[in-house]
Every structure is written in C-alpha cells, then in structure tokens.
C-alpha cells in the first residue's frame, strides 16, 4: 500500500536523523568523484552535504516521493533532484562514482537481493554507502504494530508498508561475495528529545506513517491517542527530556578498481 511523506514533519528532528548520514559520509574515502547520487534523498537537506564534500562533482538526489522532491528542489536549487523509485532506477552501467542511500532500503522488500544491481551503476573503484534502522524490535515499532493489530484498527492496517532490514554481518556477507571491500558496523545513538510526545512526533514522520495514513480520520485520532499513551509509558520523560535509543546499521563498500 503506497503512502506519502510530510517533509516538514520529517525535518522536525533533522539534526538527530542526520547523524548516521554524517558518520557514513566520513567513511567514504573517495578523493575526487565526478558523479555522486543520493538514492532516497528525502527533502535534500543531507544531499547538500555531499555537494559540500565534493564541490567538483555532479551531485543529484532521487526519491520516490514527489512531496520530498518538491521540498528538496525548493531548499537546494543548485542540486538536481528527480522523482524515481529505487527498484526501477536504471542508470548507465559504470556511470556513478559514489552512490549513497540513507534510511531508504528498509522500505524495499527483498532489498538485499537488489544490491548487485545497484553495484553495477558504479565505476571501477566506486563507492556504495547506506544506512538502515536496526531498531524494529524496540517499543517505538512494536507498540505501533501491536496496536494496529487490534480491532477496530486491524480492518484498515493489513498489508501496510513496514520497515525491515538485516544486521551488519548479513550485508557484509552479501557485498563481500559480490567482490567488494566492506566496512559494516552498528551504532546506537541516544537521542535526547524534547517537546510534547516527542517519540510519537519522531515515528509518525517515518515508521508509523503508513499505519496512520491507512486509518480513516475518526479512527486515526483514537489510534494516535492510544499510541501516544503507550509511548509515554515506554519512554518516560525526565526533566522534560525523553531518551530515544536509535540503533542503526551502516555499510560502506568499494567495488574493485
């Protein structure tokens, strides 16, 4: 079931969401790439970091969400952005020097099998870097799924999109078998959030968004109320602050030169 994106809501915690991207970018040892692509660029705020890192490169951003691309074009007019779905993206073989995919692959079922095709876009010695969540077993995800399975919500939430990923070892195994030199690791960020129901604000922009969009207006209000209450219990506030553990898998691979 397709769902939309709200760029402004997504950017509410832009600095916290961007930290894995910054760490990923630091491990890409590309000296002078000519073509850099951000696949799943969202609102483009992080694509700008690619242009800053490699000012001599042609940098472009692609995303399946027209709303995200519109926001990216408005905010970063010097960068070329376009609407494209990751599964249907078909660049010229060996035409990209650096390919980055940030918090995107988890939305693509069977994405591990797509990695070989993505690597074909890279020139010899090119780099592929991505990061995905590793926290689907945390209350921020499990509470949403448990509530969505209860009546009357379950009539509307069957078949909704849900993020899923593998551990770092699985990606290392797959990419190593494809001939890459691979650096794969996992990190848990402890984000300190403020504001009213901050964990709900966080997940409603990403992992919980398909569930919320699937519900009719009257049920959505009830769902949000119940979900917020469960999240408050799982992530209690202390002195106006809530700690959200944010575990990620980060992978940087270089294809043979």
pTM comes to 0.91
Residue 17: the pLDDT is: 83
Yes or no: say if 148 and 154 are a contact pair by the CB < 8 Å rule: yes
The CA distance from 176 to 162, in Å, is 27
Q: How far is CA 250 from the centre of its chain?
A: 11
Residue 8: the pLDDT is: 57
The CA distance from 187 to 24, in Å, is 11
Ranges under pLDDT 50 in the chain? 1-3, 10
Residue 88: the pLDDT is: 87
Residue 15: the pLDDT is: 78
Residue 53: the pLDDT is: 96
pLDDT tens, position by position, 122-175: 999 999 999 999 998 999 999 999 999 999 999 999 888 888 999 999 999 999
Residue 2: the pLDDT is: 45
Yes or no: say if 91 and 121 are a contact pair by the CB < 8 Å rule: yes
pLDDT tens, position by position, 14-26: 678 889 999 999 9
Q: No. of H helices and E strands in the chain?
A: 11, 7
Residue 206: the pLDDT is: 82
Residue 161: the pLDDT is: 80
- 200 burial (CB, 10 Å; 0-12 / 13-18 / 19+) is buried
Q: What is the CATH code for 7-254?
A: 3.40.50.150
Residue ranges of domains in the chain: 7-254
């Amino acid at each position: 079931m397709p769902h939309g994106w709200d760029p402004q809501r997504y950017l509410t915690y832009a600095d916290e969401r961007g930290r894995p991207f910054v760490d990923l970018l630091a491990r890409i040892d590309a000296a002078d790439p000519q073509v850099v692509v951000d696949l799943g660029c969202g609102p483009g705020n992080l694509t700008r970091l690619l242009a800053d890192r490699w000012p001599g490169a042609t940098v472009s951003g692609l995303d399946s969400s027209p709303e995200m691309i519109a926001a990216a074009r408005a905010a970063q007019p010097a960068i070329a952005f376009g609407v494209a779905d990751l599964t249907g993206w078909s660049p010229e073989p060996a035409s990209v020097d650096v390919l980055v995919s940030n918090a995107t692959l988890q939305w693509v079922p069977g994405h591990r099998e797509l990695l070989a095709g993505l690597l074909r876009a890279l020139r010899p010695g090119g780099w592929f870097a991505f990061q995905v969540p590793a926290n689907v077993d945390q209350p921020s995800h499990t509470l949403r799924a448990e509530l969505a399975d209860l009546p009357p919500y379950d009539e509307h939430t069957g078949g909704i999109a849900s993020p899923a990923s593998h551990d770092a070892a699985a990606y290392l195994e797959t990419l190593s078998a494809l001939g890459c030199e691979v650096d794969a690791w996992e990190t848990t960020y402890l984000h300190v959030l403020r504001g009213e129901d901050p964990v709900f604000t966080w997940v409603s922009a990403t992992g919980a968004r398909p569930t919320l969009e699937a519900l009719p207006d009257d049920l959505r209000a009830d769902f949000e109320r119940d979900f917020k209450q469960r999240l408050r219990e799982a992530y209690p506030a202390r002195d106006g602050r809530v700690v959200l553990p944010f575990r990620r898998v980060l992978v940087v691979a270089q294809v043979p030169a």
